[in-house]
Amino acid sequence: MKRKWVPVSFNYLQCDEMADWLGKMAGRGWNFRRFCFGFLFDACEPEEQVYDVQVFLKNTENDLAPTEDTLDFASYCEAAGWELVDSRGRFVVFRRIREDAVPILTPQERLETSFGAQKISAVTGFIVSLLILLISWGYILLLDFRLSHSAVNVFNPIFLAVGVMYFLLLLEQAFYLLYTYIWHKRKKQEIGQTGQLNCRIGRMGKILHRILLCAWTALVIWLAVFLISNLVQRHPSGWQSIHFGIAWLPLFAIYGVKFYNQLGRPTRETRQRRIILAGLFCLFAVWFFSMIQSVYGKEDDSLPKPIQEISPPIAVTDLIEIRDERDTESFSTFFRHNVLGTVIRYEIDCPTPGFEEALQAWEEEMNRPGRTWTDEELTEWENHPPVDEDGVFLEYELCKTPYRVVADFVWNRLVSSAKRTSEADAEGIRDVTVEWNADQAIYLEAGNAEGGLYFVRYILPAQEHESEKTAILVIGFKQGITETLNQTQIATFREKLGL
């Protein structure tokens, strides 16, 4: 038999629209068969059919087929002249089988069921969008600075794009919720005046509904394309892509299970079992990818190759003299760029010759097969790893942004987070603006004799093809360099970074 699939979506305020549309399809020779990510029709002789679409509040959004309660309800409706066709979520579709079929619900009852279902849907969407926005931006705004003393994620294009998208989704959900209440009020007046309910939405409601559908669909497709394209092209942000893949894996898994459920239409219990299994699969996948990354993903390949191969503008040897034979070229680089600005960060490790071997030997001894440890021995061993007393560790990060408000935000978050995590008291915080000849500069003693942190801010004047920018330099050194930089070292930084 010829079948037709139509991916149309209606909301709970559009029951009469859906019923009319199904009737028109029947008139064109398409008989509604069942829901399936839209509507599935069977070819038939064109005939006049009357449909009635009800909202059944006992069902949930996850009910993909008629439940026992739906079938009970349908038995009453059948006695009244309505045959159950199918149900999905809270929608229940009936076809009239007798000319004298009695209306299933009164207009007032229909209004309350439609409004009730749509309100649940809109409030749920609003809360979910709000939570997603708070979690994603909450991480950047609250936690990230404290953990890393870095503004890398503020200038991450993915974070920004996704954050803006989440905000727009939240805004749209809010409008949709407001529209639902306005619709209810207007329809109540309509029933009062005419005694009838026309369960449809106006132009504004349709626009909001379509924007919502497009936004969610676009978000999922964009993320899928981004992830797959980065992995296929072996883009330098490969590991970053995998991280986002992991973050979105639960969403893909759940939607994948929902899609599969749409085809089989299992019972509520079977469906819940599948969702739980999908969740467990996601946990396993996250663990699996984390294992892979911990073994193979030591280096950050987030940069385009040319940037990765360029040595940091300031090396350790620019600041201090290294007299022994050691690798002074070992560094990691992070680069991010979005509409808010750019950030580039260097981390340079200069261990003492032989230290890495000593560290490796220490780890091997701890994990040597056949070696047995008492709890006390193991704790003692773990608490006394080799210490590289002559090692040098330097990291510095330069952000540039044309927006003063972004610069202020980054500056305030960096400094306040560092003050909170540092053990420096008031004497350990110094204003070094004069030494750096900067707009603002602060030195912070790090705790546990781990060197210090510099936060330096400059206003870079506008140039021929560039607007005025604010530059924020963060320097952190753990040891090997004197606790504070001298004038020569400061001059080196300024000269080599163009400040």
Partner 1 sequence: MAREQFQTLSEPMYYILLALVQECCGVDIMACVKEISQGRVIVGPGTLYAMLPKFEGSGIIRKTRQEGRQKWYVITEKGRWMLEEEYTRLSRMMEDGRNILRG
Which residue ranges make up the site for partner 1 (CB under 8 A)?
A: 54, 71-73, 75-80, 82, 102-106, 109
Quick one: DSSP state of residue 479? E
Task: Kindly tell me which of 92 and 472 has the beta carbon lying closer to partner 1.
Answer: 92
Task: Kindly tell me which of 80 and 224 has the beta carbon lying closer to partner 1.
Answer: 80
Q: From CA 55, how far away is CA 67, in angstroms rounded? A: 14
Task: Kindly tell me which of 82 and 91 has the beta carbon lying closer to partner 1.
Answer: 82
Side chain identity at residue 44, one-letter code: C
Task: Kindly tell me which of 90 and 413 has the beta carbon lying closer to partner 1.
Answer: 90
User: Residue ranges of the alpha helices (H) in 143-202?
Assistant: 145-148, 157-194
Identify the residue whose tokens are 């599948």.
274
Task: Kindly tell me which of 76 and 260 has the beta carbon lying closer to partner 1.
Answer: 76
Q: Which two tokens stand for residue 423?
A: 């053990």
Task: Kindly tell me which of 110 and 274 has the beta carbon lying closer to partner 1.
Answer: 110
445: left (phi over 0), alpha (psi -120 to 50) or beta: beta
- CA quadruple 482, 485, 487, 488: dihedral sign: positive
Quote the least distance from Cβ 272 to partner 1, whole Å.
24
Quote the least distance from Cβ 115 to partner 1, whole Å.
15
End-to-end alpha carbon distance in the chain: 75
Task: Kindly tell me which of 15 and 475 has the beta carbon lying closer to partner 1.
Answer: 15
Quote the least distance from Cβ 2 to partner 1, whole Å.
33
Quote the least distance from Cβ 96 to partner 1, whole Å.
13
Report the candidate in 251, 351, 335 with the shortest Cα–Cα distance to residue 300.
335
Quote the least distance from Cβ 123 to partner 1, whole Å.
23
Q: Are 462 and 430 in contact (CB under 8 A)?
A: no
Quote the least distance from Cβ 230 to partner 1, whole Å.
52
Quote the least distance from Cβ 130 to partner 1, whole Å.
33
Q: Are 340 and 160 in contact (CB under 8 A)?
A: yes
Task: Kindly tell me which of 102 and 339 has the beta carbon lying closer to partner 1.
Answer: 102
Quote the least distance from Cβ 68 to partner 1, whole Å.
9
Task: Kindly tell me which of 7 and 192 has the beta carbon lying closer to partner 1.
Answer: 192
Task: Kindly tell me which of 55 and 208 has the beta carbon lying closer to partner 1.
Answer: 55
Contacts by 132-140 with C-beta closer than 8 Å and gap 24+? 132/166, 132/169, 133/163, 133/166, 133/167, 133/169, 133/170, 136/162, 136/163, 136/166, 137/163, 137/166
Collapsing DSSP to helix, strand or coil, 182 comes out as helix
Q: From CA 43, how far away is CA 495, in angstroms rounded? A: 77
Quote the least distance from Cβ 200 to partner 1, whole Å.
19
Q: Phi and psi of 292, rounded to 5°?
A: -60, -45
Strand partners, 287: none
Task: Kindly tell me which of 77 and 212 has the beta carbon lying closer to partner 1.
Answer: 77
Strand partners, 95: 51, 83
Task: Kindly tell me which of 71 and 131 has the beta carbon lying closer to partner 1.
Answer: 71
Q: Are 43 and 3 in contact (CB under 8 A)?
A: yes
Quote the least distance from Cβ 177 to partner 1, whole Å.
26
Quote the least distance from Cβ 119 to partner 1, whole Å.
18
167 vs 125, 126, 151, 404, CA distance in Å? 13, 11, 21, 22
Quote the least distance from Cβ 54 to partner 1, whole Å.
7
Report the candidate in 150, 146, 102 with the shortest Cα–Cα distance to residue 335.
150
199 vs 6, 143, 172, 245, 336, CA distance in Å? 22, 47, 22, 41, 50
